[in-house]
């Protein structure tokens, strides 16, 4: 009989390791952190077991743990006490994100600190821009995003990661950073961000649920593939240094398309809903958390991601370090 013996390359663990095509490393991970005002606050996000709101006085212990696990990059989110209609605390030089970044860089200067750059966590209406007559105004929002990015760079952010999906946001932020002298601060654009139902737990964590309507006029329709390419091309033309696809797991095809077409480092955001579903199933004993998480993360690498933002970063780092 004439047929292929594919099992030859799967007959032992060492053989499988020898021919493995895709590898997951701790340095692939970017760990999200949520900082809040107050003291001695470590409060678990109800819909995200294992994810916490932290006050800045507890920051050092958390950062040291992250470093000890070998994680090299974090992304910082802030939840302010005070919000207004234009998100002014987002670009306050003494804002929660700016203070967190400054402290982290003092404690761990070698850690790459990425600042999420958006307004939704800082506006009282929960949208990512300025509102007029119920509409999110695109161009009026850009200057505020640039101010936010400059304040984050001034605080010490190594990378600016705009997530708002306004048209022209990369160009506006690049111009703002350059005019302020931050030529060397790269932009990790949330280039392809879908209006996804997988964001629910994050909005619980960031207190950023829209108070009216939804985000479908600025985030993308999940049905669209070609639009993702147009979004990515625009961001590259405007000066993006990284491209991101968010969410990751339901959009692996988009990750692969961007990887095949564009030479920029590609980031997958393994979002809150993807995290919480597995956590809930694991807590109930329905799935083996370690094996399913590692399988999920390797699928993102196989699809083309160079880096993965994931709430599982610390768990996955421990599992990989066990080997």
Catalytic residues: 193, 246
**Dihedral over alpha carbons 163, 169, 172, 176 (to 10 degrees):** 0
- Secondary structure of 84-129 in the HEC alphabet? ECCCHHHHCCCCHHHHHHHHHHHHCCCCEEEEEECCCCCECCCCCC
Within the chain, strands assigned E span 29-36, 42-44, 52-55, 73-79, 112-117, 130-132, 135-137, 159-162, 188-193, 242-246, 266-270, 307-310
281/27 Cα distance (integer angstroms): 27
The answer to whether the beta carbons of residues 161 and 75 sit under 8 Å apart is yes
Output the six-digit token pair for 165: 């999906």
Q: Which two three-digit tokens encode residue 147? A: 């101010």
| Backbone Cα Rg of the chain | 20
Tokens of 7: 């099992």
Sign of CA dihedral 143, 149, 152, 154: negative
């Amino acid at each position: 009989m004439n047929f292929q013996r594919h099992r030859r390359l799967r007959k032992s663990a060492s053989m499988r390791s020898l021919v493995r095509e895709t590898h997951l490393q701790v340095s692939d991970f970017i760990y999200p952190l949520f900082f809040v005002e107050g003291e001695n606050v470590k409060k678990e996000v109800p819909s995200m077991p294992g994810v916490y709101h932290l006050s800045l006085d507890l920051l050092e212990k958390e950062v040291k743990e992250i470093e000890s696990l070998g994680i090299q990059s974090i992304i910082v989110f802030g939840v302010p006490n005070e919000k207004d209609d234009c998100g002014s605390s987002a670009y306050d030089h003494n804002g929660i994100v700016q203070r967190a970044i400054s402290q982290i860089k003092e404690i761990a200067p070698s850690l790459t600190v990425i600042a999420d750059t958006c307004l939704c966590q800082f506006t009282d209406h929960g949208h990512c821009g300025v509102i007029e007559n119920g509409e999110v105004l695109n161009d009026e929002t850009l200057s505020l995003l640039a101010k936010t990015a400059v304040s984050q760079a001034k605080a010490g952010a190594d990378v600016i990661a705009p997530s708002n999906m306004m048209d022209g946001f990369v160009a506006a932020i690049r111009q703002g950073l350059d005019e302020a002298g931050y030529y060397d601060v790269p932009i990790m654009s949330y280039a392809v961000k879908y209006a996804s139902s997988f964001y629910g737990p994050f909005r619980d964590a960031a207190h950023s649920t829209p108070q009216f309507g939804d985000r479908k006029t600025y985030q993308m329709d999940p049905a669209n593939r070609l639009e993702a390419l147009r979004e990515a091309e625009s961001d590259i033309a405007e000066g993006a240094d990284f491209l991101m696809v968010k969410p990751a797991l339901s959009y692996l095809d988009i990750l692969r398309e961007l990887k095949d077409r564009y030479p920029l480092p590609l980031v997958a955001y393994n979002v809150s809903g993807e995290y919480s579903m597995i956590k809930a199933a694991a807590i109930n004993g329905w799935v083996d958390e370690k094996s399913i998480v590692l399988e999920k993360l390797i699928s993102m690498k196989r699809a083309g991601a160079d880096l993965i933002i994931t709430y599982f970063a610390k768990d996955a780092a421990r599992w990989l370090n066990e080997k």
